Amino acid sequence: MLNTFRTYRSVRKIAPGGFFGAKKAALLALMLAASCLFASAQRFNTDSLNTLTRSAVALKIDTVKVDSLLKKGLPLSRFQKALNAFSKPKKLIPKKAFLYSIVVPGLGQAYNKQAWKIPFVYAGIGVPIYFINYFKIRYNDYIVPLESCFRSDNGRLVVVKPTAMVYRRANDTTIELTIDQMKQAVDFYSRNRDFNYIVLLAVWTLNAVEANVAAHLKTFDESETLTWKLAPTVEQSMVAGQWAGLKLTVPIR
């Protein structure tokens, strides 16, 4: 504003002439002030553009430095390592997911970022563990009285008593059973206990196989180049001339 006033005074000195001279001077001063403002704005835009250009160049130089350090195998700062690790997508390794789930059930699912499967894994493992404990307790309830009916005599088992008292957990009572009845109960609980051990092993293995397959599916190439394509086509033949048909594209990789 002060520059505009000084410009107006200098113009009045240059162009005197009463009322009309004053109008011309004021008009000339306004034009000069507008040109000054335009020049200042143009200079501001130029400085801003130069600043942005320098920032972009500096960022590009930093990126080139990081890439060159990575190629040369030189040590990077912790911040640069964290930045590079965050920017690169994590590639799943199916073998690693399998080993994780073999060691700790559900760990492979967590590695695949499918934590919602972990409760199902532990439910499948918990059920056979429960029944193993269930049949093992009842197996011991019958095997101890059965062993008390025999005595070892020079490497041979000799029957000491034909019956024994057995505690039944179902109705919380103690009953007297013969040796044959106790043997049948022991065989029943032993067979079911061993069967649940097999189920536990199968579920544990299935948990690891599922983690491996899920990791394979997550890293599977699902691009359009792998899909079968059926599209109309026009072919040229020396015998039949030009004819239309369908073309089936089957990618082989």
Contact 106, 223 (CB under 8 A): no
pLDDT digits (tens, 9 = 90+) for 29-57: 566 655 555 555 445 445 554 554 555 54
Buried b (16+ CB within 10 A) or exposed e, 126-156: eebeebbeebeebbebbbebbeebeeeeeee
Contacts of 83 (CB under 8 A, 6+ apart): none
Of 183, 188, 206, 211, nearest to 125 by C-alpha is: 206
Q: Alpha helix locations (H) across 104-150?
A: 107-111, 118-148
Q: Report residue 160's pLDDT band, with 50, 70 and 90 as the boundaries.
A: confident
Q: Which amino acid is at 76?
A: L
What is residue 91's predicted lDDT score, i.e. its pLDDT? 80
The string of DSSP codes covering 159-187 is ES-SEEEEEETTTTEEEEEEHHHHHHHHH
pTM (predicted TM-score): 0.54
